[in-house]
Amino acid sequence: MIEEGQTPTKVFISYSWDSEDHKENVLKLANTLRIVWRIDAEIDRYVRAEPPYTPIQGWDLWMSNRIESAEFVLIIFTETYKRRFEGKEETGKGLGVSWEGTIIRNDIYNAQLRDTKFIPVVFSESDLGYVPSILYTRDKYVLNDDNSFQELCYRLRKERTIIKP
């Protein structure tokens, strides 16, 4: 449980703008993490919601800074996200995910695959096939499964799910 005065875990959510429904699902996720679980979740839509509606330093540095400063990065995989993450998207499309994917892959490479910062998540089990091989052996979380979602939240808050006797 987060104690009074304890700093919430900083989490950045990396996702693609697949559809309006998908964007709304990501917003609901970020809001739930913030309100219910008291996790400091960050998404681009929060920036776009208030003046000046864009980061002063530009989106590229904003994304880089969020990934760097986050304790955890939730990567919401879909077919579109995977294509952009792997650099297989049409030129000029999905630049945000392409940029974030490059940063994430470089961080994983430099850590020699030894990190727990980058967490693959999907909204439905049918999207598990879109988690790329570089992240497939890690714990993955299915957000529409209550047990999986709760386990993720405990992980983000660094709380035990059971106590070893």
Read off the pLDDT of residues 61-113 as tens digits, 9 standing for 90 and up. 999 999 999 999 999 999 999 999 999 999 999 999 999 999 999 999 999 98
pLDDT for 6 beyond 90:
no
Which helix (H) or strand (E) segment holds residue 73: the answer is strand 72-76
pLDDT at 147: 96
- Residue in the structure block whose two tokens are 């003046």: 51
Instruction: Give mean pLDDT, residues 115-127.
Output: 97
> Quick one: tokens of 108?
């994983």
If you average pLDDT over every residue of the chain, what do you get?
Answer: 94
Q: Is 155 exposed, middle or buried (0-12, 13-18, 19+ CB in 10 A)?
A: middle
11 DSSP β-pair partners: 41, 72
Instruction: Give mean pLDDT, residues 106-134.
Output: 95
Q: Is 67 helix (H, G, I), strand (E, B) or coil?
A: helix
pLDDT at 41: 98
CATH number of this structure's domain 10-157: 3.40.50.11530
pTM of the model: 0.93
pLDDT at 4: 57
pLDDT at 3: 54
Let me know: does 82 contact 97? Beta carbons within 8 Å.
Answer: no
pLDDT for 7 beyond 90:
no
